[in-house]
Structure 1
Amino acid sequence: MSDDTNDVPVLVAGAGPVGMTAALALHARGIETTILEADPKDRDRSGSRAIYVHGSTLRTLERIHPGLGTDLVDEGLVWPTRRTLYKGKEVFNRTYDSPGGSGDIPHFTSIPQVVTEQYMLEALEGVGIDIHWESEVVSVDSSPDGVRVETDNGREWKAEYLVGADGGGSTVRKEIGANFEGDQSENAFIIADIEDEGIDDGHPDLERVFHYDAPEADGRNVLLVPFTGGWRLDIQCIEGDNPEELSSDERMREFVRDIMGEEYEDQLKWVSTYHFLQVMADTFVDDHRRVLLAGEAAHLLAPFGARGMNSGIADADEAASAVAVALHARTDAVARDEVELYAARREKAAEYNLGAAGQALEYLQGDDPVTILRKEVAASMADQFEIAGEWLDDAPYGPHGSPPIVSTGNY
């Protein structure tokens, strides 16, 4: 280890969307910070990944760095049509005259995560926040007085607080003794990006489409969502499927052709397979209340309802707020209480999001006879009763609403 110790008020582990948001939110509150990132600066960020950015997330980004939220809006898409099919039959179709609502910030925007991250990187450079690339956190030692962090290049850092946003395999989480608890999806899912350079707000077929038991996919559930530059195709595997075989280039080209049309067959750009984890850490803070976990370091969610990155950005903003108050507190008790309140609020939010995403996951992958019957009855009634089709359209994404707000800690 180097004899030199680098002192900063606050460290952030991880330069993904959550870590970068935490750094920008701290800067907006007048707190100097440094980001430590394991990957090199030219890291591979292939795949669209988190494409659906909630309006609340856009407003948060605009608040902490004016222009960031509106830049993402300008780059992203707002699709106007929701459509759902059941075994090949359309059961719901609704087009909104003003799908994004009014004002500069719409209800959502659909944009590849790599584009979101590029705008965040530019924002960090603009305000002078340092990212130390190829600086993987390997040890964290917290005490009542602060945090010491060692990176794999032998450097040591000392800070008052550390925000751990270093992803699902978080070293920070492990170093503070927090453990993931939860389940994994029964079914595998295949996610693919299909390029469409001509897609924009004026595209004639700009719609989100969900297929129950799609004949074109041999009875698998299929989701198709547009984003800037292309389309996201999600396919839910069924019992007996081999995800690796189904995700081969040849088989995926067949899926794309059958579901989207021959014109897209040669536009397949990226494919990945997942079993989604539904887990959260048993604590979001260390014993000394100097380390705060955020994003996937604290929770991993099934993607239904787009709660992953969006909830992580909310974590980051609230972590920055808690740290800012704690740094300026005149008593240790106030500083400690502020960090504990952060943990209580974001743990409750994670529990809500886990439940919401889990409800959607169970609905999609479960074989409960009552749920199956409800789907069939709703599909049969959709022509006469729009509410039946709307229920089929809504259910795959979990319940609407926001996490409850906690005003007192539970530590």
Structure 2
Amino acid sequence: MTDVLVVGAGPTGVTLAIDLARRGVPVCIIDRAPAPFAGSRGKGLTARTLEAFDDFGIVGEILALGHRGLPHRVTVRGEVVSDADPSAGLSDSADRPYAVGPIIPQFHTEQVLRNCLADHGIHVEYGAEVVAVEQDGGGVTAHLADGTAIDSQYLVGCDGGGSAVRKALGVGFDGQGGFQAMLIGDVEVTGLTPDRWYQWTDPDRGFLALCPFRRTPVWQLQAVPFADFGEGGTLPEPSLDYFQRLADDLTGQPGIRLSNPTWMSTWRVNVRMAERFRVGNVFLAGDAAHVHPPTGGLGMNTGIQDSYNLGWKLAAVLGGGDPALLDTYEEERRPIAAWTLGFSTDGLDRVTGDFADGTPRGIAAHGADREQLGLDYRFGSLATDLARVSTVHAGDRAPDAPCRDPFGDPVRLFDVFRGPQVTVLGFGGAPVVSLAGRHVVIARVGTAPGPDVDLVDDYGCARAAYGVDGDAIVVVRPDGYIGMTAAADQIEEVRAYLARFDSPRPR
């Protein structure tokens, strides 16, 4: 028997397995596919996802494999109307070290995640298909197609839009499909320099885009050929010959040649959300819980952050924390999923409008919404403001800031947050040392070096980022969100809050 069984080894499932494994939780991860997915499918990571990967220690590898600041060349009716980076107005800052996420094929992202998981001694078991799920007060049993079964205390379905786990639970998947469809695939390209995301629109004929990737000859092709839609929105089966014909027709550039297709598919509009994200000891995450249009590039990122939210809560409860903590997963993530559905659908409507009137607005929106840095859990029961500071509130993303350690070496708040622990920031003279616990790290923030200072905020960046004037306590959750703000004399209130996450009872 394992503590947690993760069903599905895409980015959502592997992220969850990593987060559990680094906390010492016994975890098993399976996938019905015979091998890892080889396509570029979800090709954009948001700034918020980069912050999660920073916590895992893999952000450098991800950035080395991706494009940040890739220009978009938009051509309408044969005329180049835009050739610029749509994120050019965004730049890294002291409190937001990753203002813009990279364009990176999903197969690169998944490989980095699997390598990280392997570093924790966990490997995906492929070819393991779940056909039934049973649970009782003692845990969950997953029955596999080969007749075997896996017992666990908790099971998390990360197995995609057609989730076998969700179906086994009988959870509804409400929403709608639509007429809109798009061809998508991975090809190699000659005749174009791989330094831009090329996009061609003709309001009468359709749309085609070719996006290059780093460290691979693969480009992702996306196409919407208006003339080829049949009754009910059907499109011809994707093939290299068909992709080439579309490129010749929609780009007007006969020198562009496509070759070596490795993945080809047809995507159709599907906007749905599960009625529930939890049934007993079984949870749903990622596409198993919500599916989105690709516009905005938030679907995979939202799934990754589902796991980043759930992993520490499962570990805390398995370690003796308050079982009610698991109820906050659906409480916090379902509203975020609903927002993402709306944001992505609005983006699809904008892109559809582009096709109709020839006005280019780009494939993906940019800004705080697109990068998911402005999303918060202020509405949730874990958000507790006792001494509200002026810049951030409980439930907000915890900002980064440059400081120095007691030896004078540079250190960032994200360096302190990195790891599976809760972090308590004690600004000024707040007496926070007594709050230290098994999974609680104390960081006393002062303006000058001293025996009671762990972080020297001599430029005031940390105080400015958190809006602290005087003494204050800020509790940062393991997933990088602010759980609590308190006054320096509210130690007992902070202690009671931390007890929800940590317990002296051994695992």
TM-score, normalising length from structure 1? 0.79
Within the candidate set 210, 219, 222, 1:231 is matched to 219
SS at match of 1:121: helix
Match status 1:297 vs 2:285? no
Change (3 A) 1:118 1:260: farther
SS at match of 1:393: coil
- Which one has more relative contact order, counting CA pairs under 8 Å at least 6 apart? 1
Q: CA deviation at 1:152?
A: 2.0
Match of 1:174 in 2: 167
Q: CA deviation at 1:140?
A: 1.5
8 Å Cα contact 2:47-2:98 kept in structure 1: yes
**In structure 1, distance between residues paired with 2:318 and 2:190:** 47
For structure 1, which segment, 349-358 or 116-125, has the greater mean C-alpha deviation from structure 2 after superposition?
116-125
Change (3 A) 1:11 1:197: farther
**In structure 1, distance between residues paired with 2:265 and 2:87:** 34
Match of 1:12 in 2: 6
Q: CA deviation at 1:28?
A: 2.3
Over residues 319-357 of structure 1, what are the superposed CA-to-partner deviations in whole Å (9 max), with x where a residue is unaligned?
102212222335xxx31x222211121111110111011
Q: CA deviation at 1:105?
A: 5.1
**In structure 1, distance between residues paired with 2:87 and 2:295:** 25
**In structure 1, distance between residues paired with 2:87 and 2:158:** 39
Q: Which structure 2 residues correspond to residues 103-122 of structure 1 after superposition, within 5 A?
A: 107-122=100-115
Q: Which structure 2 residues correspond to residues 281-296 of structure 1 after superposition, within 5 A?
A: 281-286=274-279, 288=280, 290-296=281-287
Change (3 A) 1:205 1:16: closer
Over residues 370-391 of structure 1, what are the superposed CA-to-partner deviations in whole Å (9 max), with x where a residue is unaligned?
x96xx57xx5xxxxxxxxxxxx
Q: Which structure 2 residues correspond to residues 8-407 of structure 1 after superposition, within 5 A?
A: 8-40=2-34, 43=35, 45-64=37-56, 66=57, 68-95=58-85, 101-102=91-92, 107-196=100-189, 206-213=195-202, 219-228=205-214, 229=216, 230-238=218-226, 241-242=229-230, 244-245=235-236, 247-258=238-249, 259=251, 261-267=253-259, 269=261, 270-286=263-279, 288=280, 290-330=281-321, 334-335=322-323, 337-365=324-352, 375=357, 379=359, 392-394=360-362, 397=365, 401=369, 402=372, 403-405=375-377, 406-407=379-380
8 Å Cα contact 2:87-2:100 kept in structure 1: no
Match of 1:3 in 2: none
**In structure 1, distance between residues paired with 2:302 and 2:254:** 37
SS at match of 1:108: coil
Q: CA deviation at 1:305?
A: 0.8
For structure 1, which segment, 17-26 or 148-157, has the greater mean C-alpha deviation from structure 2 after superposition?
148-157
Change (3 A) 1:260 1:144: farther
Q: CA deviation at 1:400?
A: 5.6
**In structure 1, distance between residues paired with 2:318 and 2:132:** 23
Matching residue's letter, 1:255: L
SS at match of 2:75: strand
8 Å Cα contact 2:77-2:202 kept in structure 1: yes
8 Å Cα contact 1:59-1:105 kept in structure 2: yes
8 Å Cα contact 1:189-1:275 kept in structure 2: yes
Over residues 145-174 of structure 1, what are the superposed CA-to-partner deviations in whole Å (9 max), with x where a residue is unaligned?
422222222222222211111112111111
**In structure 2, distance between residues paired with 1:91 and 1:366:** 17
Matching residue's letter, 1:57: T
**In structure 2, distance between residues paired with 1:395 and 1:274:** 15
8 Å Cα contact 2:87-2:367 kept in structure 1: no
C-alpha RMSD over aligned residues? 3.1
Matching residue's letter, 2:220: R
Change (3 A) 1:252 1:72: same
Change (3 A) 1:125 1:161: same
SS at match of 1:53: coil
Gaps of 5+ in 2: 383-507
Over residues 284-316 of structure 1, what are the superposed CA-to-partner deviations in whole Å (9 max), with x where a residue is unaligned?
000x2x111111111111101111111110011
Match of 1:387 in 2: none
8 Å Cα contact 1:292-1:319 kept in structure 2: no
8 Å Cα contact 1:185-1:361 kept in structure 2: no
**In structure 1, distance between residues paired with 2:144 and 2:49:** 31
8 Å Cα contact 2:74-2:362 kept in structure 1: no
For structure 1, which segment, 257-266 or 148-157, has the greater mean C-alpha deviation from structure 2 after superposition?
257-266
**In structure 2, distance between residues paired with 1:108 and 1:63:** 15
8 Å Cα contact 1:15-1:36 kept in structure 2: yes
**In structure 2, distance between residues paired with 1:262 and 1:319:** 50
TM-score, normalising length from structure 2? 0.65
**In structure 1, distance between residues paired with 2:191 and 2:126:** 35
Over residues 175-209 of structure 1, what are the superposed CA-to-partner deviations in whole Å (9 max), with x where a residue is unaligned?
2221111111312211132315999xxxx652234
